[in-house]
Chain A
Amino acid sequence: MFFNKGTGDGKSSADKKKKKIKRTGKTLEVLLDEKKLKRIPEPIKAGEQPEKKEKASLFKRRKKRASASEYAEPGADVYREKGAIDRPMLVIILLLICFGSIMVFSASYAYALDDMGDSYYFIKRQIFFAAVGIAVMLFVSRVDYRLIRTFTPAYFGVAVLLLLAVLVLGVAEGEAVRWIDLGPFSFQPSEIMKLGMVLMLAYYYSATEKQVRAKGFWKSSLFGTFLPISIVGAVCVLIALEKHISGTIIMFGIGMMVIFVAGGKLLWFGLASGAFVAAVTAIITMTDYATKRLDIWLHPENYSAQSEVWQTLQGLYAVGSGGFFGVGLGNSRQKHLFVSQPQNDFIFAIVGEELGLIGTTLVLALFVVFIWRCLVIAKRAPDTFSKLAVTGIAAKVGIQAFLNIAVVTNTIPNTGISLPFFSYGGTALIILFLEMGVVLSISRYSYLQKR
């Protein structure tokens, strides 16, 4: 198969130097023996010469834990082999998108018929975008992640510019202005920024490893926590300017998770979360608005006249009425315009209604497995950038998925968050697949070998 060939087409000059290797599942040693392939030592970053002492210590560590790849600084000791993409990951992604597309079809057709006059309106577009997205994913999965790393600052810069552009050119949707309309299609720069920020943080940590791991508490705090937090903060401010609360929350969550994994000081996390809890409590108890929001959240049935609450309630009804087995695929009653735009943020409600607890648990499980596989890839990834990039993307998908499910089950107040792979959405889906491409690209380097 196409992706089994594992051929590095040599998109970059670095790739061109590499020899091709076939992945058969056998150990590299055996492979090498069999195919008489040469191991090619390859430093992660050209021009950066790791110190001997550190190398030794790292090596030692790796020795202790046979497969440990953390703090990989392979240098001369480690071979970087470009292998095949991670097949379990690919299977999970395809499962999710297939499941998601089926649900988009089921959830949308009544609404599509009513609103667009064509039952297939959404599913046609969803399949198209999924196909484009998969193509993008496969393409990106073949790009050497180091090239991605190289382009990270530029990508991030473009994302920042786009976010600024939204403030000027953006298309309003309700109160919030978060879309840029390019005629045939429109997109949310914040979606682009999610990947941008993840990559940027990864880039940042890979560039400042020394400082981050410095002995001094303050220096380490500054580089490991404060500076990256200020990146996250700046991005959040930009998104908050769009009045995009859910986007801001997700962005913040992703950033915190990346910083946490990258080694942010726990002390600051502790202090920050303490302050956060205190602030939220204060806001809720001291402002009427927040108190009311809280009441709406806890007793939505008293506010059913508000369209947002109406949506929450109808979503709850849908999920609740699914029972254990659900009413059967295609048989949702609530999708008949009770749940507004059921193919979007509330698609999980239709999953719950049609497939019951079995279906919803399956979706939860798929996302857990997805996260697990991402983190496995991250663990095996060759360097800080790749590890953090995959971790960040996993965090993004995980946060969005679980926040979405929490919204649909009224576990948290309603705020517009889509369910990755499930919710209908053209450009967002392509960007999601772009991220998957990055993950798969990195997964090719899961095999670190001793020299």
Chain B
Amino acid sequence: MYVRTIVLFVVFAMVAVFLGGRLFNLQILEYDKYLGKVLDNLLQVSVIKAQRGTIYDRNMQKLAANVTTYRVFISPVDIKEEEDRVRISKELSKILDVDYDTVYEKASKPNRKDETIKEHVDKETADKVRALIDKYDYTRQIYLQTTSKRYYPFENSAAQVIGYMGTDGGLFGLELQYNELLTGTDGKYITARNAKSESMPSKYDVKIDPENGYSLVTTLDMNIQAVLENQLQLTYKENMAGNNVCGIVMDVHTGAVLAMATNWGFDLNTPYTLVDDYADELKFSGLEQGSEEYNELKWELIYSMWRNKCVSETYEPGSTFKIITSAIGLETGVVSQDSVLVCTGKQTVGGVDISCHKKTGHGEGSFSYLLQQSCNPAMMQTAARIGTETFWKYFEEFGYLDKTGIDLPGEAAGINHTFSGFHSVEMATSSFGQTFKTTPIQQITAICSIANGGYVVTPHVVESLIDSDGNVVIDNSGESKRQVVSAEVCETLAEILEGGVIEGVARNAYVAGYRVAAKTGTSEKRDAEDETLRVGSTVAFAPADDPRIAVLIVVDEPGGPVKSGGTVAAPYVAAVVDQTLQYLNVGKVYTDEELATMSFLVDDYAGKEVAKALTEIETAGVTCKVIGQGSTVYSQLPLAGEQMSKTDGVVYLYAYDPELEERPPVTENKYETVPDVTGMKVSAAIMILTDKGFNIHITGSLNYAEGSGAQVGEQSVPAGSALQVGSVITIKSIHTDVSD
């Protein structure tokens, strides 16, 4: 017994030693591991979200901002009674417009403390939830958490440029490009929590404040953006662009992008909703809704909608590139503006005949004339004089071989020849902008360097980044990289191009009061199967004598009968230039001719003295006829607020004597039938309409003097209708003879 008692003790002692060893292992050797586990248990890190930076335009209008929203969630584990569960499910589903069963299912989950019912609830709804919580004292069952949602006040304006912030950050546009800087650094609040997530005494409490993201001050001006987008939409509709249109307005000196748009601005607040055209394409694709192909197409369309055509797509610039070829020619001195060149309608380069758009040829002419007429052989001849090596050098210097480095995501690189493959034929076709592709942003950047005296600038959308106190953190205002051509060459070119607007193929880019230098372009889509597809574009900068802005509009695959850039793009470029310069307070300077053709804004003369009104109207250079007797005007035609051409225009004033109680009836209510003037020369149409006694208002190209070739595109009153003499008929002037 004694021995066995000792054996028993020894067994116990051995077990104790073994357990001691086990404890040594746990508490000493594996201490770190278990300490880590405990801290994992204990420390609850609540993230204090850094506020995402705002995106402003250059007038500090908010383009992307944050609004406070609420997340409604419930704590199922705290819903003890079935009665409460039903009530909570019922009330919440009503307030939040969520399916009852969904809420009930979430409310029934055991051991869950956080089940989201709805996110991004607005304040009004949140208040209702709060009232519900108060009413039944559901403070432990229903919770509201303040969250924030990205909001885009301009909705669909500059959508592709601003971009969209998805769940995990920016998806495209500036939101993507500057995602990191916008995001900031989240703060942390580390507290010790017991197993029920309640606070407990601890020494681990730490608070790290969040660093809010920087805000972007962009170079965009939403007013100019609106102007550009309006014109893009017009040309998209009027010229039935098959592959969309895009445009850029840029400050020529800094490379600041004032406006950049791809048509089909979708609402950034609902970026997954297809715009009408795309929705139709999906609808009529014949694919079964919900099928894999259907979804594939849907996503393809969404991505395509998001794509910024100005930077992510390439095109053959066509004749607009002739500006660059000419610049190289003038800079190297192989041509001057007066050099005489001959166009026979085609040019043979390296044994290949390359034709001019004018098959009959432009004949013999000065370099500037041929450039204004957008003659291909003239360019090929110039290029031949420059030589491939020099041409290539300048081509590179203008930046065509690189990306521009604009601060937008997804910039496409141009598709270019290689130097080793750049021979006379390649150079000849390149000289008028074919056989290589570039992006619209690259093209306008190159044109900017002609406009600003030869300096290559870096295009940019963000001017500066500011912190939450408004201090500038990063200054991104553009610096020119290098001078490519001399200021003199640029001046000469501006003059030639301005002449092109007055007399050349860029006549549709004419803007009365502003001197515009422009070049149109129509390029073949050489990589498309359909050989008739074209890209029409126009690039302009103005004022020509002191350029401030450059404008480019690219119409991809115009579907109308006329596809030339001079028709599908130039008029809209003119409108953009006009409105933008006016907005920028650039004063209009009219020539005498322009003054004569300027429209007259009819005032409200009713109640005025006849003599006074008469003087007023005649001082403006408009004929005035007074009908009836009396000292006071009681009616007029055209009506107040209408615009009319001064030339051959007549304002009819109806006078009466206020002493007399009775007003005489409007006499001479003469009506005339409106003729069809569409397709006529503008000058002829003016004559016909004024002969009938109508007043005219001309829109579109104001360069409609006889011989300009301007035609009437549209008339505001349909032919055949009867119209009172003196009424205004608006006709749209357009140059259709402007092939390039």
Contacts and interface: CB of A to CB of B under 8 A. Distances in A.
Interface of A: 68, 70-71, 110, 114, 257, 260-263, 313-314, 316-324, 333-334, 336-338, 352, 356-357, 360-361, 364-365, 367-368, 371-372, 375, 378-379, 387, 391, 395, 398, 402, 405-406, 409, 411
A337 B24 contact: no
Contact of B4 (A71, A260, A314): A260
A360 B27 contact: yes
Given A371-B9, A379-B2, A402-B19, A320 B194 contact: no
Contact of B195 (A70, A260, A338, A398): A338
Contact of A320 (B4, B7, B33, B202): B33
B5 A324 contact: no
Contact of A395 (B8, B24, B42, B195): B8
Interface stretch (B10-18, B54-62, B258-266, B563-571): B10-18
Given A316-B34, A402-B12, 8 more contacts: A110-B200, A318-B34, A322-B27, A333-B200, A357-B24, A379-B2, A387-B1, A409-B26
A337 B196 contact: yes
B288 interface: no
Given A375-B9, A387-B1, A333 B38 contact: yes
A197 B27 CA distance: 37
A378 B23 contact: no
Contacts of A352: 23, 26-27
A364 B9 CA distance: 14
Nearest to B35: A321
B528 interface: no
Given A261-B1, A371-B9, A321 B19 contact: no
B738 to A, nearest CB: 77
A31 to B, nearest CB: 27
Contacts of A372: 9
A318 to B, nearest CB: 7
A112 to B, nearest CB: 13
5 tightest Cβ-Cβ pairs between the two chains A and B? A320-B34, A336-B194, A337-B195, A321-B38, A317-B37
A197 to B, nearest CB: 17
Contacts of A411: 18-19, 22
B110 to A, nearest CB: 12
A360 B42 CA distance: 23
B4 A261 contact: yes
A317 B27 contact: no
Contacts of A321: 31, 34-35, 37-38
B27 A356 contact: yes
Contacts, number: 127
Contacts of A261: 1, 4-5, 8
Contact of A409 (B7, B23, B194): B23
B137 interface: no
Given A261-B1, A375-B5, A323 B16 contact: no
A70 B2 contact: yes
Contacts of B24: 357
Contacts of A361: 20, 23
30 contacts: A110-B194, A110-B200, A260-B7, A260-B8, A314-B41, A317-B41, A319-B26, A320-B35, A321-B38, A324-B27, A324-B31, A333-B192, A334-B41, A336-B195, A337-B194, A337-B195, A337-B196, A338-B194, A357-B23, A357-B27, A360-B27, A368-B12, A371-B9, A372-B9, A375-B5, A379-B2, A387-B1, A402-B16, A409-B22, A409-B23
Contacts of B2: 68, 70, 379
Given A338-B41, A409-B22, A257 B8 contact: yes
Contacts of B296: none
B20 A364 contact: yes
A379 B34 contact: no
B30 interface: yes
Given A320-B30, A321-B31, A336-B195, A405 B19 contact: yes
Nearest to A114: B196
A449 B193 CA distance: 64
Interface string B195-210: 1101010100000000
B620 interface: no
Contacts of B9: 371-372, 375
Interface in B137-173: none
B5 to A, nearest CB: 5
Contacts of A70: 1-2
Contacts of B8: 257, 260-261, 375, 391, 395
A70 B2 CA distance: 7
B95 to A, nearest CB: 33
A324 B1 contact: no
Interface in B193-249: 194-196, 198, 200, 202
Contacts of B352: none
B42 to A, nearest CB: 5
Q: Which of A322, A336, A365, A391 has the most CB of B within 10 A?
A: A336
Contacts of A395: 8
Nearest to A332: B38
Nearest to B199: A336
Nearest to B192: A333
A333 B202 contact: yes
Nearest to A318: B38
Contacts of B28: 323-324, 357
A391 to B, nearest CB: 7
B31 A323 contact: yes
Nearest to A257: B8
A68 B1 CA distance: 11
A318 B38 CA distance: 7
B27 to A, nearest CB: 4
- Name the residue among B28, B194, B200 with the largest chain A CB count within 10 angstroms: B194
B35 A323 contact: yes
B88 to A, nearest CB: 24
Contact of B16 (A322, A368, A409): A368
A169 to B, nearest CB: 30
| Most chain A CB within a 10 A radius of its CB, from B13, B23, B34 | B23
A211 B382 CA distance: 131
A406 B19 contact: yes
Nearest to A384: B1
A260 B31 CA distance: 39
Contacts of A262: 1
B492 to A, nearest CB: 80
Given A333-B42, A391-B8, A409-B26, A263 B1 contact: yes
Nearest to A263: B1
Nearest to B13: A368
B4 to A, nearest CB: 5
A45 to B, nearest CB: 18
A324 B37 CA distance: 17
A406 B12 CA distance: 13
Contacts of A313: 37
B130 to A, nearest CB: 28
A316 B13 CA distance: 23
A296 B288 CA distance: 50
Given A110-B194, A333-B41, A406-B19, A320 B5 contact: no
B77 to A, nearest CB: 13
A323 B15 CA distance: 21
Contacts of A71: 1
Contacts of B202: 333
A334 B34 CA distance: 11
B20 to A, nearest CB: 6
Interface string B700-730: 0000000000000000000000000000000
A317 B9 CA distance: 31
Nearest to A372: B9
A395 B23 CA distance: 22
B38 A317 contact: yes
B12 to A, nearest CB: 5
A371 B196 contact: no
A421 to B, nearest CB: 16
A314 B13 CA distance: 27
